[in-house]
Structure 1
Amino acid sequence: MLWRVRTTLPDRPGSLAVLAEHCGRAGVNILGLQIFPGVEAVTDELVLSTPQGWGASGTAHLVERAGGRNVVVQPCTEAALTDQPTRYVQAARAILASPMSFPDVVARLFDAEADPVDPDGPPQDVMEMTVGEVQVQVRRTASFTATEHARGAAMADLVSDVLQRTRAESAIAVTAGRRMGGGATPEHVVDGGSVSAVVDGVVVGLATVQDPLAEDPSTRPVVLRVDPAWQRRGIGTRLLVDAARLAHTLGADEIVLTTRADNQAVLPMVLAAGMRGRIRMAADVLTVRVAVRELRPLTS
């Protein structure tokens, strides 16, 4: 049986030797080791192979007898033995290919979860990363080390750079090709709980502020659609801003957008809007929450 073990050991010579001695006497093999330095203590992550019949509690007890504190034990597979620098390179390549996959990729990288915590489950540590003005959170039972926080921030900076470059290239393409229908500028029309982008009498984009959530009356879902022929021209960004202001007018503190996890347009759109948001990915669903309390109201 393979176990991924996180523990804090005293930062003094011989701490790892004591742990290795206890493992050897118990017939437990140390197959992998990562060390995260600290000021007064060191966090170690080990992959242990235990004899048949061992459980998480027995493995934790072994490490505690060797001086380990804050022990967290989870079952794992041979994938945990993958070279760590290789994992980070692969994660960076995946993010470069699809920046919207950032929450899912970084959650796997840190053996964490990107979806909200179960309120009835064990307490979890949260690592928050910022891409532009968008906050991405991942969580797990084992505490994140300062080293992992630094690595997460570096990954978030990578995504910000990629999206900024993509936005700049898109802006150049739009200017050079005059993609706005020969210079046509959409008119934005507010009608009740919706905002539409209209060109020559034709609706090319629509954002609808829906009724408040039953479980959270201060939050309103927003459904946003842009005609494929008119995408990548800033229409979605303008509609998002207008819908957020309209939701504030209707009494909301926050809006929520839900879409497919592979939707490549959402994160750049939120970043371009300059609004603070929180993004989460769970299974095949991407959820973005944006605070609207500080926006100017929008009326028809």
Structure 2
Amino acid sequence: MALWRVRATVDDRPGYLSVLTASLALRSVNILAVQVHTTEEGAVDDFLVDAPDMLTESDILAAVVKGRGRDAFVTRADPQGLADQPTRALALAGRLFHEPDALGDTLAALLDATEVRWRPAATADLPGFHGGRMTLADPAGGAYEVLRALPAFTPAEYARAQALVEVAGAVQRQQHEQVTMLLPDGTELVLRPAGRDDLAAVQELHEECSAATLGQRYLSGAVPDESRLRRLLEPAGGVTLLAVASGGRVVAMASLVIEGDLGEIGLLVEDGWQRRGLGTALLRRLRAHAERTGLAALVAHTGADNTAMVRALQHLGADRVEQDGPVVSVTMPAAGRPVGDETPAASA
């Protein structure tokens, strides 16, 4: 028995797929996997089949035509084809997570392409596909042109390729946003966006903070439970940044939660790491994210005794401080005002 890949278009009407499969069965062709791609011309059925050794490409093509298939494509397949397409796409997405620069090779593997070319933005066509040619925007700039002779690309394949492009773009953005910060005493920290895998480390951060520090961050006095922490790690439309010390220990977190054109910021720095410039650095990066997002203003609510936080926000451009009992609300335009380098005038 031999593995073959068979693709053909059939009318998208009840019973037509069964006619095609019956025609293949009469030739003792065993269907191992099938995908259906919906197109304007009809349903494109993509089969991985196991056929008797004596059958040739012409024999299988004849069976497809007899089964009312048109625009047929038949080629030998290898055992890797036994993995279904969702599994294959997930595996390739996993590769991109570790190697976002391998997007071109990953697209070639996903689409069984004969060639993948990169073109600068000025010479690239708009994203889309036609026949055996597909154009995809490169997250780093320019575009990828993906080519294969047969079969023609389908909307489903284009959607999968676009999903991989988005994965690569997200990883590249995350890597770009990760920076190393050098504190005045020579200590190095990594500042990076948070993710769902950081839950345990963030829970440990809360456990290491004093009741007074937690009270300044969470004015209600209630430390967030696991479900709320999960939401804080990946706020919808916003961002949470972490400061990570050696050994992977999270020593500070700063969050930006967006509602309309207003962003609310929160900051938690472990007691032993306070007054070293770390809070100011995190707040500065949150403000930069707010500028890119197009927010009108940022607001922070903290305890009236948290003078370091208030001074840091004023240094970054806050122009309104309002006190209501033990709570202070500090507001600053998202654009802020020009500030100096990462060495803070006041620390949080």
Matching residue of 2:85 = 84
- Structure (1 or 2) with the larger CA radius of gyration: 2
Which residue in the other structure is 2:100 paired with? 99
Question: Does structure 1 conserve the Cα–Cα contact (< 8 Å) formed by 2:11 and 2:42?
Answer: yes
Matched residue of 2:115: which SS? Answer: coil
1:136 pairs with one of 126, 131, 144: 144
| Structure 1 match to 2:48 | 47
The aligned length equals 169
> 4+ runs of 1 displaced by more than 4 Å?
175-178
* Structure 2 unaligned blocks of 5 or more: 118-129, 185-348
Amino acid at match of 1:159: A
Please report how far the alpha carbon of residue 41 of structure 1 lies from its aligned counterpart in structure 2 after TM superposition. 0.6
Residues 124 and 38 (structure 1), Cα distance of their counterparts in 2 relative to 1, 3 Å cut: closer
Q: Secondary structure at the match of 2:88?
A: helix
Q: Which has the higher contact order (CA 8 A, sep 6+)?
A: 1
Matches of residues 140-289 of structure 1 in structure 2 within 5 Å?
140=148, 141-169=150-178, 172-173=179-180, 176=182
- For 2:113 and 2:8, the matched residues in 1 are separated by 16
CA distance in 2, matches of 1:105, 1:51: 32
Task: Give 1:71's aligned residue.
Answer: 72
Contact 2:115–2:146 under 8 Å retained in 1: yes
Identity %: 29
2:134 to 104, 123, 127: 127
Query: Does the aligned pair in 2 maintain the 1:8–1:43 contact within 8 Å?
Result: yes
The structural deviation recorded for 1:83 is 2.4
Provide the alpha-carbon RMSD of the alignment.
Answer: 2.1
Contact in 1 for aligned 2:33/2:84 (Cα 8 Å): no
Query: In structure 1, how many angstroms separate the alpha carbons of the residues matched to 2:168 and 2:114?
Result: 19
> 1:127: how far off?
1.6
C-alpha contact 2:97 2:168 (8 A) present in aligned 1 = yes
Query: What is the DSSP-based 3-state SS (H/G/I as helix, E as strand, rest coil) of the residue aligned with 2:163?
Result: helix
One-letter code of the match for 1:139?
L
What code does the residue aligned with 1:86 have?
Answer: T
Give the whole-Å Cα distance in 2 for the aligned partners of 1:76 and 1:159.
28
Q: How big is each residue's C-alpha offset from its partner over 1:97-116, in whole Å with a ceiling of 9 and x where there is no partner?
A: 10111111121112223346
Measured at CA, do residues 124 and 58 of structure 1 come closer, stay the same or move farther in structure 2, by a change above 3 Å?
farther
Aligned to 1:18: 19
What's the offset of the Cα at 1:29?
1.2
TM-score normalised by L of structure 2: 0.46
What SS is found at the alignment partner of 1:37?
Answer: strand
How many angstroms does 1:134 deviate by?
A: 2.3
For the 8 Å contact 1:103–1:114, the answer to whether it is kept is no
How far off is 1:9 after superposition? 0.7
- Structure 1: which 5+ residue stretches go unaligned? 117-122, 179-300
- For 2:183 and 2:8, the matched residues in 1 are separated by 57
| Contact 2:100–2:168 (CA under 8 A) maintained in structure 1 | yes
1:215 equivalent in structure 2? none
Amino acid at match of 1:17: S
2:24–2:60 contact (8 Å) kept in structure 1 = no
Counterpart residue type for residue 6 of structure 1: R
In structure 2, how many angstroms separate the alpha carbons of the residues matched to 1:57 and 1:24?
Answer: 16
Aligned residue identity for 2:19: V
CA distance in 1, matches of 2:53, 2:109: 27
